Structure 1
C-alpha cells in the first residue's frame, strides 16, 4: 500500500463527513426557515458555499437527498410492521411514521409538498406497497372498509397521513393520536372504534420502535 493510498482515506472520510454535515445543517436550517438558502445551509455546516457546491449541485439536490434518506427511514419502519390485524397494523404504522416525522416536520412537509411529491412518491415505493398489502389483507378479513378498491383506499390513507404530517402542529400533545385517528377514519373505523383501539393499545402513542 502506498503513501498515496493512505492519504486518500482521510480525504474520503473528510468528504463524507462534510457531506453529512451539509445534510444535518440543511435539516436544522429548514426547520428554522423552510426557504433557507444555500448560503445559510453552508454557514450552518461551517463550510463555504464553494465547498458545499463541491458536494451538491444546488439547493434542490440537497432536498432530494434529504427526501431519499427520510424515505429510507419510512420504508424501514413499514418493513417492521408484521401485525396480522390490519387495523392495528395501520395504527402502528401511522404512529411510528408520525413519531419519526414529527422531529423533522418542516423537512417532511417540504418533501411532501407539490414541488417534490413526485420524487418522494418514487422513494417511498416500498412503503406504499406495504400499505396496499395491509389494506388488501384487512379487506379480506373484513377489518377495513370494502367499498373502495385496495389501491385507491391505500392512496387515500396515504393522503390522510400526508395531511397530518404537513398540517397538524407537532407540538400539540394530541398530535400523534390525531394523526392515527385520521388514518383509521379513512380506513373505515368510526371515531369510537379508533378511540377504543388506542385505549386497548396505549403503547401506540409515543411508539417509535
Structure 2
C-alpha cells in the first residue's frame, strides 16, 4: 500500500510532467487546449484540471516557473559584478538551454493572457532594465531608447533566435548573444569577443 509521502511524490511528478509537456505542446501551438496537453502527458483531462483548474492557472504556473529560473540566472550573473555587456553575454549563455522552452510565453504575452503574464514577468523586466541602465550609465550600451524599452528588444531577440534555432538548429547561444549585444549598441568586435568568451 503506497504511503502518504509516496503518493505526494507521485502527484508532484505528475504535475511536473504536465508542466514540462505543456511547454512543448504550447511551444508548437500556443492555442493548444487542455485536452491536447493531457494527451501529450499521457493522462486524462481530469488529471490536468485537478492540478490546474483552468488554462490560465496552467499558464500562470508556467510563467512563475520561468520567472524564477530566469531571475535566478540574471541575479547570479549580475551579482558577480562584471561590466554590463559581459553580464548580458553571460546571462544569454546561461539562459540559452531553457530559452527555447520559454519562448512560448512571449507569444502568449501578446494574447488573451497578456495582462497576467506581463504582471508576473514584471520583476524580471525590472532586473533586465536595471542591467541595461547600468550599461547605459557606463556608456557600453546605446542611449537612443529608454533602458526598459531597449532591454525588452534585446531580450526578445534572444527568444526570436531560439525560435529559429528550434526549426533548423544552425544558430545557437553565440548567435543570440551577438545579436542581442548588437541591439544594445555594443560594437561588433566587442560583441564577438564577449560571445566567444562564453562556454
TM-score by length of 1: 0.75
Residue 103 of structure 2 is aligned to residue 109 of structure 1: yes
**Which one of 96, 99, 112 corresponds to residue 97 of structure 2?**
99
Q: Which residue of 2 aligns with 1:169?
A: 165
What is the rounded CA distance, in whole Å, between the counterparts of 2:172 and 2:129 in structure 1?
25
What is the rounded CA distance, in whole Å, between the counterparts of 1:128 and 1:55 in structure 2?
28
Q: Which residue of 2 aligns with 1:128?
A: 125
- State the secondary structure of the residue aligned to 1:124: helix
- State the secondary structure of the residue aligned to 1:189: coil
Q: Which residue of 2 aligns with 1:3?
A: none
For the structure 1 residues 97 and 119, does the alpha-carbon distance in structure 2 shift closer, same or farther, using more than 3 Å as the test? farther
| Alignment size in residue pairs | 192
Residue 81 of structure 2 is aligned to residue 87 of structure 1: no
Larger radius of gyration: 1
- Conserved in 2, the CA contact under 8 Å of 1:185 and 1:191? yes
- Conserved in 2, the CA contact under 8 Å of 1:85 and 1:138? yes
Q: Which residue of 2 aligns with 1:160?
A: 157
Displacement of 1:177 in angstroms is: 1.6
For the structure 1 residues 11 and 124, does the alpha-carbon distance in structure 2 shift closer, same or farther, using more than 3 Å as the test? same
**Which one of 25, 28, 37 corresponds to residue 29 of structure 1?**
25
**Which one of 43, 47, 51 corresponds to residue 47 of structure 1?**
43
For the structure 1 residues 109 and 57, does the alpha-carbon distance in structure 2 shift closer, same or farther, using more than 3 Å as the test? same
Q: Which runs of 5+ in 2 are unaligned?
A: none
Displacement of 1:159 in angstroms is: 3.3
- Conserved in 2, the CA contact under 8 Å of 1:145 and 1:187? yes
Give CA deviations for 1:155-187 in whole Å, capped at 9, x if unaligned: 332333343344x22352333222112211121
Give CA deviations for 1:85-123 in whole Å, capped at 9, x if unaligned: 111111111222222213x2xxx2321111144333322
Q: Which residue of 2 aligns with 1:58?
A: 54
For the structure 1 residues 87 and 56, does the alpha-carbon distance in structure 2 shift closer, same or farther, using more than 3 Å as the test? same
What is the rounded CA distance, in whole Å, between the counterparts of 1:172 and 1:7 in structure 2?
45
